[in-house]
Amino acid sequence: MRRRRKLLATGAAVAMATSVASCAGWGGGVGGGGGDTVNVLMVNNPQMIDLQKLAPQFTRETGIKVNFTVLPENDLRDKASQEFSSQAGQYDVATLSNFEIPIYAKSGWVAPMDDYIKADPEFDQADILKPMATALTAEGKVYGQPFYGESSFLMYRKDVLASKGITMPAKPTWKQVADIAAKVDGARPGMAGICLRGQPGWGQLFAPLTTVVNTYGGTWFDQDWTPKVDSPEFTQATQFYVDLVRKHGEKGAPQAGFTECLNNLTQGSVAMWYDATSAAGSLEMAGSPVKGKIGYAPAPVVKTKSAGWLYTWAWAIEKASSHQDNAWKFIAWASSKKYENLVGQRVGWSSVPAGKRASTYTNPQYLASAGPFAAQTKQAIESVNPNNPGLQPRPAPGIQFVDIPEFPDLGTQVSQEVSSAIAGKTTVRSALNLGQQLADDVATQYRKREGK
Amino acid sequence: MTTTLARPAATDLEIRHAKQPRSGVLLTGAAWIIAVLFVLPVLWMILTSFHTEQDAAANPPKLAAPLSLEGYRSFFDSGPWPPLANSLTASVVSTLLVLLLALPAAYALSIKPVKKWSDVMFFFLSTKFLPVVAGLLPVYLFAQKVNLLDNIWLLIILYTSMNLPIAVWMLRSFLSEVPTEMLEAAQVDGAGLVRTLREIVAPVVAPGIAAAALICFIFSWNELLFARVLTGTRAETAPVFLTGFVTSQGLFLAKVCAASLVVSLPVLAAGFAAQDKLVQGLSMGAVR
Whether A180 and A244 have beta carbons less than 8 Å apart is answered as no
Query: Cα-flanking dihedrals φ and ψ of residue A102, to 5°?
Result: -65, -35
- pLDDT band at B15, cuts 50/70/90? low
**Bigger pLDDT: A156 vs A33:** A156
The pLDDT tens digits for A327-384 are 999 999 999 999 999 999 998 888 899 999 999 999 999 998 888 899 999 999 999 9
pLDDT at A129: 94
User: A55-59, B216-220, B267-271: which range is least confident on average?
Assistant: B267-271
Q: Could you report the predicted ipTM of this complex, rounded to two decimals?
A: 0.73
List chain B residues with CB under 8 Å of A71: 243-244
The pLDDT tens digits for A184-202 are 999 999 899 999 999 999 9
Whether A258 and A269 have beta carbons less than 8 Å apart is answered as no
- CA-based end-to-end distance of chain B: 18
Domains A37-150+311-381 and A152-308+404-449 share a fold: yes
Whether B253 and B189 have beta carbons less than 8 Å apart is answered as no
What architecture is the A37-150+311-381 domain classified under in CATH?
3-Layer(aba) Sandwich (3.40)
Separation between Cα atoms, residue A226 and residue A446, nearest integer Å: 10
Interstrand relation of A93-97 and A37-43 (parallel, antiparallel or unpaired): parallel
* B157 contacts chain A (CB < 8 A): no
For A431-445, letters b (16+ CB in 10 Å) and e give bbebbbebbbebbee
- pLDDT band at A25, cuts 50/70/90? very low
**Bigger pLDDT: B19 vs B17:** B19
Q: Which amino acid is at B227?
A: A
Look at residue A253 and tell me whether its pLDDT is greater than 90: yes
**Bigger pLDDT: A449 vs A430:** A430
**Bigger pLDDT: A209 vs B271:** A209
SS3 A40: strand
**Is A62 exposed, middle or buried (CB count within 10 Å of its CB: 0-12, 13-18, 19+)?**
middle
The pLDDT tens digits for B195-253 are 888 888 888 888 889 889 999 999 999 999 999 999 988 899 999 999 888 877 767 88
Separation between Cα atoms, residue B110 and residue B205, nearest integer Å: 13
DSSP class of residue A65 equals: E
Whether B68 and B251 have beta carbons less than 8 Å apart is answered as no
The pLDDT tens digits for A383-393 are 999 988 999 99
Long-range contacts of A178-185 (CB under 8 A, 24+ apart): A178/A240, A178/A244, A178/A248, A180/A156, A180/A272, A181/A244, A181/A247, A181/A248, A181/A271, A181/A272, A182/A247, A182/A248, A184/A157, A184/A160, A184/A271, A184/A272, A185/A247, A185/A248, A185/A271
- Intervals of CATH 1.10.3720.10 along chain B: 80-243
The pLDDT tens digits for B119-139 are 999 999 998 898 989 999 999
pLDDT at B196: 86
Q: Do A41 and B141 touch (CB under 8 A)?
A: no
CA nearest to A214, candidates A305, A311, A98: A305
Q: Do B247 and A52 touch (CB under 8 A)?
A: no
A244-271 average pLDDT score = 92
Write down the CATH superfamily of domain B80-243: MetI-like (1.10.3720.10)
Q: Which of residues 171-230 of B touch A (CB under 8 A)?
A: 192, 194-195, 228-229
Separation between Cα atoms, residue A373 and residue A105, nearest integer Å: 33
Whether A315 and A116 have beta carbons less than 8 Å apart is answered as no
Fold of A152-308+404-449: D-Maltodextrin-Binding Protein; domain 2 (3.40.190)
Number of residues that this document lists for chain A: 452
Report chain A residues touching chain B, CB-CB < 8 A: 2-3, 6, 10, 13-14, 17, 20-21, 24, 26-30, 32-33, 39-41, 44-46, 49, 52-53, 67-73, 75, 79, 82, 86, 88, 90-91, 259
List chain A residues with CB under 8 Å of B246: 44, 72
Cα atoms in the Cβ-side hemisphere of radius 13 Å centred on B266: 19
CA nearest to B187, candidates B177, B175, B197: B197
Look at residue A159 and tell me whether its pLDDT is greater than 60: yes
Interstrand relation of A152-157 and A270-276 (parallel, antiparallel or unpaired): antiparallel
Give DSSP secondary structure letters for A242-286: HHHHHHH--TTGGG--HHHHHHHHHTTSEEEEEEETTHHHHHTST
pLDDT at A18: 41
List chain A residues with CB under 8 Å of B228: 75, 79
pLDDT at B278: 74
Look at residue A46 and tell me whether its pLDDT is greater than 90: no
Percentage of residues in chain B having pLDDT higher than 70: 89
Tell me the average pLDDT of chain B.
85
Look at residue A11 and tell me whether its pLDDT is greater than 70: no
SS3 A288: coil
Of all residues in chain B, the one with the smallest CA distance to A80 is: B229
Of all residues in chain A, the one with the smallest CA distance to B232 is: A69
Domain residue extents for chain A: 37-150+311-381, 152-308+404-449
- pLDDT band at B271, cuts 50/70/90? confident
Enter the pTM of the model.
Answer: 0.80
Q: Do A72 and B236 touch (CB under 8 A)?
A: no
Q: Which amino acid is at A78?
A: D
A285-295 average pLDDT score = 87
Separation between Cα atoms, residue B97 and residue B105, nearest integer Å: 13
Q: Which of A2, A23, A43, A69 to mutate against chain B (most B CBs within 10 Å)?
A: A69
CB count within 10 Å of CB A119 equals: 9
pLDDT at A109: 96
**Bigger pLDDT: B55 vs A395:** A395
What 3 state SS string does chain B have? CHHHHHHHHHHHHHHHCCCCHHHHHHHHHHHHHHHHHHHHHHHHHHHHHCCCHHHHCCCCCCCCCCCCCHHHHHHHHCCCHHHHHHHHHHHHHHHHHHHHHHHHHHHHHHCCCCCCHHHHHHHHHHCCCCCHHHHHHHHHHHHHHCCCCCCHHHHHHHHHHHHHHHHHHHHHHHHCCCCHHHHHHHHHCCCCHHHHHHHHHHHHHHHHHHHHHHHHHHHHHHCCHHHHHHCCCCCCCHHHHHHCCCCCCCCCHHHHHHHHHHHHHHHHHHHHHCHHHHHHHHCCCCCC
Q: Do B93 and A13 touch (CB under 8 A)?
A: no
* B251 contacts chain A (CB < 8 A): no
Separation between Cα atoms, residue B41 and residue B46, nearest integer Å: 9
